């Protein structure tokens, strides 16, 4: 989850499976293709889709047009990079970020022989 300022207001960006699926459904292509299009072709449509997808979890009623309005005057590359970082954290491009496992206390092994019948 990332926080970003757009149009003078703080917004929460967070990708999960559902927001990723919403993005893919709206685009008609995979997240990888949308991100690649935004990065290599500087596609405004893909940039808007990525932002909209990142906003879905916390602002489910936001429209694509409203997400696009938030990009007016914004550093679109910075917005895109923030979204991509959250996608990485969500595991969209490999394993999700995880906390290291807690160390478990080892059970003590007794060196004393046990009696057998």
Domain spans of the chain, in order of start: 2-89
The rounded distance, in Å, linking the Cα atoms of 12 and 4 is 6
What is the chain's pLDDT, residue by residue, as a tens digit (117 residues)?
999 999 999 999 999 999 999 999 999 999 999 999 999 998 999 999 999 999 999 999 999 999 999 999 999 999 999 999 999 999 888 765 555 555 555 555 555 555 555
Which pTM does this prediction carry? 0.78
The token pair that represents 109 in the structure block: 């092994």
The rounded distance, in Å, linking the Cα atoms of 72 and 74 is 5
* DSSP letter for each residue of 54-111: HHTTT-TT--HHHHHHHTTTS-HHHHHHHHHHHHHHTTTTSSPP-PPPPPPPPPPPP-
CA nearest to 93, candidates 35, 23, 39, 12: 35
């Amino acid at each position: 989850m990332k926080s970003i300022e757009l149009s003078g207001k703080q917004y929460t960006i967070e990708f999960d499976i559902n927001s990723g699926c919403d993005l893919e459904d709206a685009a008609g292509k995979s997240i990888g293709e949308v991100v690649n299009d935004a990065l290599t072709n500087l596609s405004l449509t893909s940039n808007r889709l990525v932002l909209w997808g990142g906003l879905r979890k916390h602002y489910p009623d936001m429209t694509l047009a409203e997400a696009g309005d938030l990009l007016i005057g914004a550093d679109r590359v910075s917005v895109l990079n923030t979204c991509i970082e959250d996608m990485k954290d969500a595991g969209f491009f490999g394993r999700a970020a995880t906390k290291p496992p807690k160390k478990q206390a080892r059970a003590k092994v007794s060196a004393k022989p046990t009696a057998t019948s």
